[in-house]
Amino acid sequence: MKIQLINPNTCQGMTDKIALSAQSVCLYSSEIIARNPAHGPESIECALDETIAAAALLDVIAQGEAEGVDAHIIACFGDPAIDAARELASVPVIGIAGAAFQLASLVSHRFGVVTTMSRTLPAAEHLLHRYGYHHLCSGVRATDIAVLDLEQIQASAYQQLLQECRAAINQDGAEAIVLGCAGMSDLTAELSAALNVPVIDGVAAAVKLAESLHALKLTTSKSGNYAAPLHKSFHGRYQHWSR
Amino acid sequence: MKIQLINPNTCQGMTDKIALSAQSVCLYSSEIIARNPAHGPESIECALDETIAAAALLDVIAQGEAEGVDAHIIACFGDPAIDAARELASVPVIGIAGAAFQLASLVSHRFGVVTTMSRTLPAAEHLLHRYGYHHLCSGVRATDIAVLDLEQIQASAYQQLLQECRAAINQDGAEAIVLGCAGMSDLTAELSAALNVPVIDGVAAAVKLAESLHALKLTTSKSGNYAAPLHKSFHGRYQHWSR
Amino acid sequence: MKIQLINPNTCQGMTDKIALSAQSVCLYSSEIIARNPAHGPESIECALDETIAAAALLDVIAQGEAEGVDAHIIACFGDPAIDAARELASVPVIGIAGAAFQLASLVSHRFGVVTTMSRTLPAAEHLLHRYGYHHLCSGVRATDIAVLDLEQIQASAYQQLLQECRAAINQDGAEAIVLGCAGMSDLTAELSAALNVPVIDGVAAAVKLAESLHALKLTTSKSGNYAAPLHKSFHGRYQHWSR
Amino acid sequence: MKIQLINPNTCQGMTDKIALSAQSVCLYSSEIIARNPAHGPESIECALDETIAAAALLDVIAQGEAEGVDAHIIACFGDPAIDAARELASVPVIGIAGAAFQLASLVSHRFGVVTTMSRTLPAAEHLLHRYGYHHLCSGVRATDIAVLDLEQIQASAYQQLLQECRAAINQDGAEAIVLGCAGMSDLTAELSAALNVPVIDGVAAAVKLAESLHALKLTTSKSGNYAAPLHKSFHGRYQHWSR
Amino acid sequence: MKIQLINPNTCQGMTDKIALSAQSVCLYSSEIIARNPAHGPESIECALDETIAAAALLDVIAQGEAEGVDAHIIACFGDPAIDAARELASVPVIGIAGAAFQLASLVSHRFGVVTTMSRTLPAAEHLLHRYGYHHLCSGVRATDIAVLDLEQIQASAYQQLLQECRAAINQDGAEAIVLGCAGMSDLTAELSAALNVPVIDGVAAAVKLAESLHALKLTTSKSGNYAAPLHKSFHGRYQHWSR
Amino acid sequence: MKIQLINPNTCQGMTDKIALSAQSVCLYSSEIIARNPAHGPESIECALDETIAAAALLDVIAQGEAEGVDAHIIACFGDPAIDAARELASVPVIGIAGAAFQLASLVSHRFGVVTTMSRTLPAAEHLLHRYGYHHLCSGVRATDIAVLDLEQIQASAYQQLLQECRAAINQDGAEAIVLGCAGMSDLTAELSAALNVPVIDGVAAAVKLAESLHALKLTTSKSGNYAAPLHKSFHGRYQHWSR
């Protein structure tokens, strides 16, 4: 199957990194097509970034659909534009936050989330509510590491990340850790070894869920709220959306 | 005070209509600056429309900020991009759904919402939860009138709207009606006369709340989640957002 | 318009103080009629006080109705007797707690409440739930300043109030402060200057909401739960309620 | 033990009736002292009635305390003034709605409530939330029988009551019926025989709970929110509350 | 009446202890038949223990039914097997956790729970949600005293228990204490004297509720979810359940 | 990997059937070991059945652990004994209800559940709450087909099942269907073809999730509530659990 893995920001380094993470866990028969939009912010750390990136990533969804991919993954922990993407897509669309919460709940009674900037906490809280996992989460902690600083993570930042994971376990009662940023996916194994509890990377989780749905021939229901968008005119820089 | 009233779709007719609605209720000292984005969908009726319009309307927020307006109103019942807009703005940003819920709750024990297409129901439900008004709402009903058909509403569509309002009152127990689309604002008086319960138009409600905040010198808190967006590079068609 | 501003306790000093607060923010065309009941407790700080004051304030509502006022404001942070008042009134009835929560939610992502005695905390919590604002509140803090001590506030009490506001911001994550007692309304400007976040006084908020509803010709729905009370006999000291 | 059974309205007939109901189920060693306030409405069917009756019934609590009763029961399905009564009392105060919900939940998976006027539905809903029984209730149904019409119930009204009980069982899935008015207590046995499910009368339930607490030497905690009211001046017709 | 008091673990010492607790509070006319299953764990401290004990205790329910007891009490704070027991029984089945929450809520605004091992916290949390008392609970605290160590409690363990009760009151705001293990029932009076707030033992609470239901002729509804189990074959060591 | 697929009832026919369902979707490298307990009910349709089966299936978990399987699946829609199983297991334990809810939420906005007997509805509702999927479920519908009648399903029963699925879609707004019994797993393809929406079988879903966790080297956290059970004595027919 072809899995389109979308990094919704414009940082090529992060796109390359999550492609490696995905390839390291996917089936031999799966092909990972990693992309990021040509337009938008270089990282997503506040509501402005997310609102712009949401519009931009839909172009990538449309491109993947045109090419006949078998699933789309939105690889930003805010799961931006997931409803619009599901309207556009004929195949499953999976967000990495939702994917991580699902697998974390299968291996723990309570999981903690450790994320980047404090400004992203409301987005994580919102998704816990939307997906129904709030009561299974022991808390969300910010490291205040900037997303782009994960690209070449310094020892001090790694220590800060490790420390928040430990606080989640020892103070909040987390029995597993969900990594709250796609840019942390390359640190999963190291953190898991250090912490001795399951550490869940949403990118890897989403890849396995995409493969699972494909094996079961399950795809986005087009009956109801994820039916194809209504035909209408779009103007200006969004004219290409006119149908 | 200067109130920027933003119609997030590109339909000039609707922009003109809501400008009239706003002007008919604002203070003598208030100036209504009604605008719509140059980019985006001509109406907002599904998640794709809303995701694109959200990105597009932020340009109008920025324009209003540059001009020194005293408040922004987002005149689409999904309150799109409200968090990003509050990050960008130094003055209050009010969505018409939230504004309508607030005033409706002051004059009724339970209010009903009557909206356009069935596809917009999840957005209305989402906002009732976000703002905390779900338990005060007797139900959301769709008329399946397309947004643009409100521009020159036919007798049959008006009857359909009236019928759903009556069903909300008689079957659901609504004691007041919230109109679920900015494009219905010109029908408020007529519906109110026909129904004999309070009928709340979010555009008018938002204008009065904007004036209220201004009189009290209350503006968006820049301490916390609505602090100004972080400085970073944006690429492609969003390059103008680089700071 | 004529706004009847009701202090539900019998402390004339507080009635005078909130009249000034209301007059300083109302429109030129608004007339503030500030009153307190002849009967009841001199301050409201526990359930007994509130239960007695609730019955007593209804006489003031009836008086205002007889005089043809255009709105009633119940200026005690427990919003006592608000349902019964809405049954009695033909015009809007606004409680200061509900009014403050509404405006606070327009200018912040999370607001904190700072109130008087610890004994009043359950009442504030109850209203946050009733109105649906619990998830938008970062916490309610008591200063343990007695209501009547606000009449001539000492420097030490003011410092205690300021300290709890700061704790709400720095420890609880409040982005705005709601003042949890009508008797604090004269401190709004001073606290706002000191704290650098929006500070919301419910008395001022309620006045602007009353004017907003009046401008929009919105009044209490008499269809449903706020219909006029049923006619029946009352005995003893409540005989005057017989209809 | 001495149990003060308070009918919060001024209808002596109802006071006599619930006294009989209580006496028919209490222990040989229990003495039922049934009273109603001298002041207030002759029945409680809307928020105005309840707000006035709440203030009036506190005088009866004080009288019982002075006489050294061992428990107070508030025999109106809205459990009016229960918080203030618990502040005043040194012994347990039990409301009949809360008592009925407790016993109903011990003998059924879901119970239905059948009450008098539609106007009382919000009060019942409020108590289900306050006490935490909302998810165990299959629904609240009104018969629109006036409270005083229960005094000499006609065959037609009884049939209406029976019909709503049957609808609760057959349509809503109720496995037990809670009677939503103290004035229905004399119909418990007849309804139970007719319906073949447990029928719970709150008056009887409250008597047994009062005896239970007494046997276990459990009484209202005076540490925290039910501590004695603060000392202060009351004016006018409430001057007797000054402490 | 005959009350079958079931200790679901196989520790005879605990069975004897709770029999004494029950006998010390029951009516003269009540007979306490205290039993424990022949099969299962000697104490219940984790999900494995509870799952095994749940199956084992149903044999005791069946025995009591065959003997014609008038009520069953499940005397383990997890209220194990309560739904299955209610299916089997023609008379009421009461769990001690639910019973304790009910009486605690009648004498306090918020109660705390103090239990044994940390591993039992999720079970207590689950029951607070199931019964609807979560919002009335100030918190659940573990002492990490093993259940069997309560049999001959050491001074140090008692001090640990007392300390957690005090923390519940002073730090969490508990106004009453619910003892979270049947094995603590003999400590109720001593703790109550030391703490000066109501201390509720679920065993005693359940006995009084059983007597209350019996006096009111209320028994488990056999209409709906607690109807008798369907007839079918059971195999192996559960063959005796075949009907 | 070795996946132990446990049918918790003693019906060999159902064990064989779900083995086929699992084998038809698992990876080439996965081995399905399908088993049922030697003890317990031949089908699970009420709380008694489930309580007995829960204890019985733990023996199968222990057997699988001794043999070194890589995951356990509990193939009954009530996910019985899942917490105890996770304590016992060193590898993941997945229930088919939770698995089905997860995949259904990835391909629909709202899913419906169609199950067997009405008596099983509370179990399904309980799991929707436990796992946090209640707000994503449009409703649970019973067909009142007995579990064993699914073994050789008659045309009339199949039509009844189809009809309830259609009602879920057309009346409740379901966009996907979750099959509420392991015994329906062989009907998935046929129902999916007939209904034109995604149809999710929990057995298949659980197999893919087990493979996903295995690929990611994620296993049950032994830190916290799923730590190994405490060592203690068990008596009688459960003596083999003594550690």
pLDDT band at D69, cuts 50/70/90?
very high
Output the pLDDT for position A165: 98
Please state the domain extents for chain D: 2-95+204-241, 97-201
* Mean pLDDT computed over B66-80: 98
- The chain A residue lying nearest B83, using CA atoms, is A47
pLDDT of residue A153: 84
- Give the pLDDT confidence score for residue E152 in this predicted structure: 85
Is the confidence at residue A154, as pLDDT, over 90?
A: no
pLDDT tens for residues B157-184?
A: 899 999 999 999 999 999 999 999 999 9
Q: Which amino acid is at F160?
A: Q
Among chain E residues, the shortest Cα distance to D97 is held by: E106
Instruction: Write the pLDDT tens digit of every residue in A36-66.
Output: 999 999 999 999 999 999 999 999 999 999 9
pLDDT confidence of residue D155: 87
Other CB atoms within 10 Å distance of the CB of residue C28: 4
pLDDT by residue, tens only, chain F of 243 residues: 999 999 999 999 999 999 999 999 999 999 999 999 999 999 999 999 999 999 999 999 999 999 999 999 999 999 999 999 999 999 999 999 999 999 999 999 999 999 999 988 989 999 999 999 999 999 999 999 988 898 888 888 899 999 999 999 999 999 999 999 999 999 999 999 999 999 999 999 999 999 999 999 999 999 999 999 999 999 999 999 998
B108 and B198 Cβ atoms separated by less than 8 Å: yes
Q: Which of D193-197, E214-218, F156-160 has the lowest mean pLDDT?
A: F156-160
Question: Rounded to 10 degrees, what is the CA torsion of F179, F181, F185, F190?
Answer: -40
pTM: 0.97
pLDDT of residue B223: 94
pLDDT of residue C154: 87
Looking at residue A225, the DSSP 8-state letter turns out to be: T
Question: What residue in A sits closest to B53 (Cα-Cα)?
Answer: A55
Best residue in C83, C192, C218 to probe B by mutation, most B CBs within 10 Å? C218
Share above pLDDT 90 across residues of chain C, in percent, rounded to a whole number: 92
Instruction: Give the model confidence (pLDDT) of A159-189 as tens digits.
Output: 999 999 999 999 999 999 999 999 999 999 9
Give the torsion sign (CA, B16, B18, B23, B27): negative
Greater confidence (A27 vs A157) lies with A27
How far apart (Å, rounded) are the C-alpha atoms in residues D113 and D95? Answer: 15
Section B106-124 average pLDDT: 94
E32-58: average pLDDT:
97
F224 to A109: CB separation less than 8 angstroms, yes or no: yes
Residue of B44, B235, B239, B243 best to disrupt the A interface, most CBs of A under 10 A: B235
- pLDDT for D19: 98
Residue D151 binned pLDDT confidence (cut-offs 50, 70, 90): confident
Q: How far is F22 from chain E (nearest CA, A)?
A: 25
Compute the nearest-CA separation of B62 from chain A (Å).
12
Res. B154 pLDDT band, cuts 50 70 90: confident
Instruction: Tell me the C-alpha distance between E185 and E73, whole Å.
Output: 14
Residue E147: is its pLDDT beyond 90? no
Question: Which pLDDT score, from 0 to 100, does residue F57 have?
Answer: 98
- Across the interface, do E52 and F238 touch by the CB < 8 Å criterion? yes
pLDDT score of C164: 97
Residues E89-102: what's their mean pLDDT?
98
H helical segments located in E68-201: 82-88, 96-107, 121-131, 155-170, 188-195
Fold: same for F2-95+204-241 and F97-201: yes
Angle (CA) D135 C98 C143, round 5°: 100
pLDDT at B153: 84
C-alpha distances in Å from residue D159, one per residue of B53, D162, D194, D203, E105: 58, 5, 11, 22, 36
Q: Give the pLDDT band (50/70/90) at residue A78.
A: very high
**Distance, CA of C85 to CA of C55 (rounded, Å):** 10
Q: What is the pLDDT of residue E151?
A: 85
Average pLDDT, chain E: 96
Q: Whole-angstrom Cα distance, residue A141 to residue C74?
A: 41
Cα separation values, F103 from A26, A29, A201, C88, F200, Å: 18, 21, 18, 53, 7
Return phi, psi of residue D174, to 5°: -65, 135
Q: Quick one: chain E helix, strand, coil %, rounded to 5?
A: 50, 15, 35
CATH number 3.40.50.12500 is the correct assignment for the domain at F2-95+204-241: yes
Which residue does chain A place closest to F201, by CA atoms?
A: A216
The class of domain B97-201 in CATH terms is alpha beta
Contacts (Cβ under 8 Å, ≥6 apart) of B193? none
φ, ψ for residue E115, nearest 5 deg: -125, -170
In Å, how far are A66, E58, F124 from E54, measured between CA atoms?
56, 7, 20
The ipTM value here is 0.97
- Report pLDDT digits (tens) over A212-230: 999 999 999 999 999 999 9
Using an 8 Å Cβ cutoff, are C38 and D236 in contact?
yes
What is the predicted pLDDT for the residue at C173? 95
Interface touch B54/A56, C-beta < 8 Å: no
User: In whole angstroms, what is the distance from residue C196 CA to residue C162 CA?
Assistant: 12
| pLDDT tens-digit series, residues A107-150 | 999 999 999 999 889 899 999 999 999 999 999 999 999 888 88
pLDDT digits (tens, 9 = 90+) for E66-84: 999 999 999 999 999 999 9
Residue A230 in 3-state DSSP?
Answer: coil
On chain B, the residues whose CB falls within 8 A of the CB of A119 are 225, 227, 230
Mean pLDDT of D163-173: 97
Per-residue pLDDT, averaged over A148-155, amounts to 87
**Measured distance CA(A83)–CA(A227) in Å, rounded:** 10
**What pLDDT, on a 0 to 100 scale, did the predictor assign at position F142?**
95
Contact across the interface for C208 and B198, Cβ inside 8 Å: no
Cβ C229–D83 below 8 Å, yes or no?
A: no
Residue with tokens 């501590």: D227
Mean pLDDT per block of 10 residues along chain C (243 residues) reads 98 96 98 98 96 98 98 97 98 98 98 94 94 97 91 89 97 97 94 97 98 98 95 97 94
Q: Can you read off the two tokens belonging to residue B194?
A: 């026909």
For residue C243, the model assigns a pLDDT of: 87
pLDDT digits (tens, 9 = 90+) for B11-66: 999 999 999 999 999 999 999 999 999 999 999 999 999 999 999 999 999 999 99
Read off the pLDDT of each residue in E160-184 and give the average, rounded to a whole number: 96
Whole-angstrom Cα distance, residue B64 to residue C134?
32
**Residue A10 confidence (pLDDT) above 90:** yes
Which amino acid is located at C95 in the chain?
A: G
Instruction: Give tens-digit pLDDT for F139-170.
Output: 999 999 988 898 888 888 899 999 999 999 99
- Confidence label for D209 from pLDDT (cuts 50, 70 and 90): very high
Question: Which chain E residues have any C-beta within 8 angstroms of a chain F C-beta?
Answer: 10, 37-43, 45-52, 54-56, 58, 81, 83-84, 86-88, 117, 119, 122, 129, 225, 227, 229-230, 232-238, 241
- Judged by CB atoms closer than 8 Å, whether chains meet at E208 and D225 is answered as no
Task: Say which of D56, D225, D237 has its CB closest to residue C119.
Answer: D225
For E103-144, the pLDDT digits (tens) are: 999 999 999 999 999 988 989 999 999 999 999 999 999 999
d(CA A80, CA A36): 13
Q: Enumerate neighbours of E (3 or more CB pairs within 8 A).
A: D, F
